[in-house]
Amino acid sequence: MELLRLICLLRLWLALLSFLVGFSAGSATHWPEQEGKEVWDYVTVRKDAHMFWWLYYATNPCKNFSELPLVMWLQGGPGGSSTGFGNFEEIGPLDTQLKPRNTTWLKWASLLFVDNPVGTGFSYVNTTDAYAKDLDTVASDMMVLLKSFFDCHKEFQTVPFYIFSESYGGKMAAGISVELYKAVQQGTIKCNFSGVALGDSWISPVDSVLSWGPYLYSMSLLDNKGLAEVSDIAEQVLSAVNKGFYKEATQLWGKAEMIIEKNTDGVNFYNILTKSTPENAMESSLEFLRSPLAHLSQRHVRHLQGDALSQLMNGLIKKKLKIIPEDISWGAQASYVFISMEGDFMKPAIDVVDKLLAAGVNVTVYNGQLDLIVDTMGQESWIQKLKWPQLSKFNELKWKALYTDPKSSETSAFVKSYENLAFYWILKAGHMVPSDQGEMALKMMRLVTEQE
């Protein structure tokens, strides 16, 4: 056993050394040599609609990739790039400076990053009518991609396959999981689908909006007058959703955000302990009045396409990948992706999660303690609306504490699970859990994929 341990440590050291060979410290001027295998490609999922994916094979020094799960990561937005933000800002092997990430998930899983819906990241459309407009189209497109992927990479057909997601990516992941489950049952897609994880997910938008006021008030970020203003606009959003006026609800949601920013001196929707980038309130209001959707897409896709990441993706990464068409810039179509989903944005997907639970699919919900846009209170609210027969038994359970360091008494998270539903409360994390609490996010992934 001691000899095996020494061999593993030696392999780990050699892997790290090879990772660093040729790397220019402090600059992203060339791609560092990596131990693991990578492949990438396009799939034409519909006429004029081309979806890009990028796969990293797991690099655990003691296990072959075939002994570890395959994780597909789906970003939010809609319009956020998995191959960009999820990869370089959250769970991939390198950060935006091309330095190794200590908490990369690649140590314990192969990683499949997909730019979806079409038009996101390096994915692109040739005509404007090819953008997806609803969850059904998003799921249908992904079925085409996954069938192509597993048909071409048969080595992954028996490997446990999990979908992890963030924000609007969670809503897409739920819809995709329902269709994938059907496809596996019918035999049209050959894969070992093992579960889905919904991170800070936009499953029930109205429950998030309704909880914004009480959450901010409880955190001393709203006074009584501010709470009343936020509660009033939240009720307007609820009324629009109940009437099925989803486009109107989307615009009212944007108005609610501005009311919150005005009353909180610019709280950051992605982490309440920070402030948004300073922006002239009057100018922001005028932008919203001129084009509410364009304004909202800028707000909620822009933070996923920072300057450093955009320069990396459109420079060194585009050169590395070689197959990106010359006229396609990473992220250039992202705003159109967001705008095209206007009618779908505020629709709830609670019933979709219910379908997954009823089918026996393992569903994990996880949320950052400091997130506002999809706060934990809102997540807990929609979970109580599930029709899942075991919900009462889930509710009776007490959560248990989790620690990233077994020698430390500092709690990193809480978890509660019953049968095929689990909920993780991730402490000291905002909307982007792997960015804020990388060690805990990695531990959670290993727990979900049954590696701990």
pLDDT at 299: 74
Q: What does the pLDDT read at residue 452?
A: 76
Q: What is the pLDDT of residue 113?
A: 98
Cα(first)–Cα(last) distance of the chain, in Å?
20
Within a domain: 416? yes
Q: What is the pLDDT of residue 298?
A: 73
63-80 pLDDT, tens digit each? 999 999 999 999 999 999
pLDDT at 408: 82
Do the domain assignments include residue 55? Answer: yes
Q: Is residue 238 part of a domain?
A: no
In a domain, 279, yes or no: no
Model confidence pLDDT, tens digit, residues 344-377: 999 999 999 999 999 999 999 999 999 999 999 9
Domain presence at residue 84: yes
> Is it the case that residue 312 has pLDDT exceeding 80?
yes
If one counts the domains in the chain, the total is 1
β strands within 200-345, DSSP E = none
Task: Supply the pLDDT for residue 292.
Answer: 67
Instruction: Note the pLDDT of residue 347.
Output: 96
Among 11-25, 60-74, 148-162, 258-272, the range scoring the smallest mean pLDDT is: 11-25
Phi, psi of 340 (to 5 degrees): -65, -25
Give pLDDT, residue 182: 98
Q: Is residue 381 part of a domain?
A: yes
* Nearest-angstrom CA–CA distance, 333 and 346: 21
Domain CATH code at residue 391: 3.40.50.1820
Q: Per-residue pLDDT tens for 164-211?
A: 999 999 999 999 999 999 999 999 999 999 999 999 999 999 999 999
pLDDT, position 174: 98
| DSSP result, 404-427 | SSTT-----EEEEEETTEEEEEET
Q: Which domain holds residue 416?
A: 15-203+347-448
Residue carrying structure tokens 């991730």: 426
Q: Kindly report the pTM of this predicted structure.
A: 0.90
Round to whole Å and give the CA distance between 219 and 295: 28
CA distances in angstroms from 276 to 217, 234, 260, 265, 385, listed in the order given = 18, 21, 12, 9, 32
The tens digit of pLDDT for each residue in 120-139 reads 999 999 999 999 999 999 99
Convert the pLDDT of each residue in 417-433 to its tens digit. Answer: 999 999 999 999 999 99
Tell me the two tokens of residue 133. 């407009």
Assess contact for 211 and 377: CB atoms under 8 A. Answer: yes
pLDDT at 285 over 90: no
Q: Name the pLDDT band for 276 (thresholds 50, 70, 90).
A: confident
The b-or-e profile of 320-337 (16+ CB within 10 A means b, else e) is ebeebeeebebbbbbbbb
Is 337 part of a structural domain of the chain? no
Q: Which residues are catalytic?
A: 167, 371, 431
The pLDDT tens digits for 401-416 are: 999 988 888 999 999 9
Of 9-18, 226-235, 304-313, 361-370, the range with the lowest mean pLDDT is 9-18
Q: What is the pLDDT of residue 36?
A: 73
Give domain status of residue 158, yes or no: yes
| SS percent in the chain: helix, strand, coil, step 5 | 50, 15, 35
